[in-house]
Amino acid sequence: MINITFPDGSVRAFEKGVTGYEIAKSISPRLAEEVLAIAVKPATDTTIGKGQTMDLNRPIEEDSSIFLLKWEDDEAKRVFWHSSSHLMAEALEDLYPGIKFGIGPAIENGFYYDVDLAGNQLTDADFPKIEKRMLELAREKQDYTRIDVSKAEALKHFEEKGDQYKCELISELEDGTITYYTNGHFTDLCRGPHLRNTEVIKAVKLTALAGAYWRGDETRGQLTRIYGITFPKKSMLDEYLVVLEEAKKRDHRKLGKEMELFTFSSRVGMGLPLWLPRGSVMRFELEKFLRRKQNEYGYLPVVTPHIGSKDLYVTSGHYAKYGKDSFQPIHTPQEGEEYMLKPMNCPHHCEIFRSSPRSYRDLPFRLAEFGTVYRYEQSGELHGLTRVRSFTQDDAHMFVTPDQLKEEFEKVIDLILYVFRIFNFDKYTAQVSLRDPNNKAKYIGSDENWEKAENAIIEAAAEKGLKTVVEYGEAAFYGPKLDFMVKDAIGRKWQLGTIQVDYNLPERFQLEYTAADGSKQRPVMIHRAPFGSIERFTAVLLEHTGGHLPLWLSPDQVKVLPISEKYSDFAKKVCSLLNNSDIRTSIDDRNETLGKRIREISLLRVPVLAIVGEKEVAEGTVSVRREGADAGTMKVEDFVTWLKAEMAKELA
């Protein structure tokens, strides 16, 4: 017998080899039908989190704690969508003979499969017949069967099938670690986990086609990436499609064009955003907002160059980890001299700390910079402002004593939560991103320092009462992180804001301070970026608000509209008074109807309109509209007071 511990702490004994499905069925048959997968953690495992997600049919051989995962659990959705990618592959193999398969993972919303069509043609007009075939196969209630195979067997199978992509993947795997999953007539190289069978897949929608280089390498062949999403109920798909349509309206690329905020130019280069005047105003206001708050917290502003010596990034470890995938070194006329576009601000800040002797009295030493960095993203991965090659981080680094670490970390949490409150991101989860305990070679630093850093994050998050999830393998290579995942107005998840504890860079840069007893000690470093980057934050904020920005942040806060040309002089006086009162205002006195001007201004999402006509001129007033709603008629001086009060409320 083995002991199984449930999330509520209760313990029950089961036969050794019991499956998750059998455990669920022992509680209730209905629960067994709702559960999609199981998370299992051996009793000897002291790590945080639910444990390893497994098939419901996998046997449990030792004392363990478990979580039964249902649709509402993210882990269950990943299993559901990964299984759906295999179902799609089976349908594709039926419909397109000779097709070959790359990889087919679950993603945040749905799944994709990279395929080599082997001469077949596929367009989105073919989606309905693929969806139909998937549903036909799902209704067959095909089991997902896991099979352990030797490396030789696996290579033989896929060589006979003529699938060079799977053969390449198998060649890199260790014998004794290779598994297949089979559903129906389709067999795939896969670690799993998967659903018990296909019956629970009730609704299917293929969503997009894209090109994708094999293994992300632009020198390799291009495959076709087929995206899709599935649900256990048709009603869920219907709700998702409504959200999808709303997302199209809120696409920051569309809004950025309509609102004249940013653009891209092939001559300038892919992934390099150009901020237009209106967008630059918004960007500067974001920076000003955060600078003001940083001043309250005691941050010191710094500015560092856009390039750095290659040796700087060799010292930091960035070059060893990312050098091959970064913009390549810049060679100067001086032989052997190499520089790099700055991929990170932290090495520069370490050198600022080193520039003078530091005492424990100087700590915490907080450096802040809106620093532009450059990272090479493959062209297929670029997406508006959310994936770019040049972006500006609201970066700061705090150098603290070990005793100050938790308190300083909690202050950064407070700062990030303040930012979320001001921008109405009221649904969020804090993700504790830890290193992969099974692949420690990916990370730099000692086990002792990693344990200290991970415990500091976990304790600070708990003391702040944050709702947290733990993700192993998501840490930065130099330290664990607390990543904030927000939900926008239509329920999509975005990663915004990050805090990282780092014992490693201070060691690599030999940073030290003089302690109270006169000894030399190593500081602990905290990395933080509440916005993440200006570019990504702008994109998420635009999609969250649909472009209807807070009044204080809007590039044009007020547009003055004279009803006809004869009221233009008064309109200009109103405009001048508002601008002199630090309210961003412009006038639209074009020879167009008032209705047409209002419609065109609505695309710019100007929050306040001040309309002036004969009555307003006579009385020294303006007729005010806020986001399309009548806000009344006000004296011009009262209008200024009202605007400032509205902005103050937004920032309170």
Q: Is 437 exposed, middle or buried (0-12, 13-18, 19+ CB in 10 A)?
A: exposed
The token pair at 289 is 């907002």
Q: Per the residue annotation, which of 100, 188, 342, 346 is the catalytic one? A: 346
Cis peptide before 193 (omega within 30 of 0): yes
Distances (CA, A) of 419 to 148, 529, 532, 546: 50, 11, 12, 19
Assess contact for 360 and 514: CB atoms under 8 A.
yes
C-alpha to C-alpha distance for 27 and 66, rounded to whole angstroms: 14
* Residue 527, strand partner residues: 397, 500
Assess contact for 113 and 85: CB atoms under 8 A.
yes
- DSSP-based three-state secondary structure for 460: helix
C-alpha to C-alpha distance for 362 and 365, rounded to whole angstroms: 6
Q: Any idea what DSSP says for residue 123?
A: -
C-alpha to C-alpha distance for 326 and 339, rounded to whole angstroms: 12
C-alpha to C-alpha distance for 483 and 477, rounded to whole angstroms: 15
Q: Catalytic: 527?
A: yes
Q: Which of 54, 81, 78, 82 is nearest to 68 (CA)?
A: 54
Q: Per the residue annotation, which of 41, 278, 318, 397 is the catalytic one? A: 397
C-alpha to C-alpha distance for 209 and 224, rounded to whole angstroms: 7
Q: Any idea what DSSP says for residue 9?
A: S
Q: Per the residue annotation, which of 527, 528, 544, 584 is the catalytic one? A: 527
Q: Per the residue annotation, which of 196, 358, 375, 435 is the catalytic one? A: 375
Place of tokens 């307003």: 616
C-alpha to C-alpha distance for 119 and 354, rounded to whole angstroms: 60
Q: Catalytic: 548?
A: no
Q: Catalytic: 375?
A: yes
DSSP alpha helix (H) spans, 139-216? 151-161, 164-171
Q: Is the dihedral of CA 424, 426, 427, 428 positive or negative?
A: positive
Q: Catalytic: 397?
A: yes
Distances (CA, A) of 106 to 119, 145, 163: 26, 18, 21
Spatial CB neighbours of 217, under 8 Å, sequence gap ≥ 6 = none
Q: Catalytic: 142?
A: no
Q: Catalytic: 190?
A: no
Q: Per the residue annotation, which of 100, 250, 358, 393 is the catalytic one? A: 393
Assess contact for 501 and 480: CB atoms under 8 A.
yes
Angle at which helices 74-95 and 127-138 pack, to 10 degrees? 110
Q: Which of 430, 435, 431, 466 is nearest to 449 (CA)?
A: 435
Q: Per the residue annotation, which of 250, 481, 528, 625 is the catalytic one? A: 481
The token pair at 640 is 């200024």
Q: Which of 277, 250, 276 is nearest to 262 (CA)?
A: 276
Amino acid at 560: V
Spatial CB neighbours of 489, under 8 Å, sequence gap ≥ 6 = 544, 545, 546
Torsion angle of alpha carbons 613, 614, 617, 620, nearest 10°? -90
Q: Per the residue annotation, which of 394, 395, 488, 556 is the catalytic one? A: 395
Angle at which helices 405-422 and 447-463 pack, to 10 degrees? 50
- DSSP-based three-state secondary structure for 86: helix
Q: Catalytic: 346?
A: yes
Spatial CB neighbours of 418, under 8 Å, sequence gap ≥ 6 = 293
- DSSP-based three-state secondary structure for 33: helix
Q: Which residues are catalytic?
A: 346, 375, 393, 395, 397, 481, 527
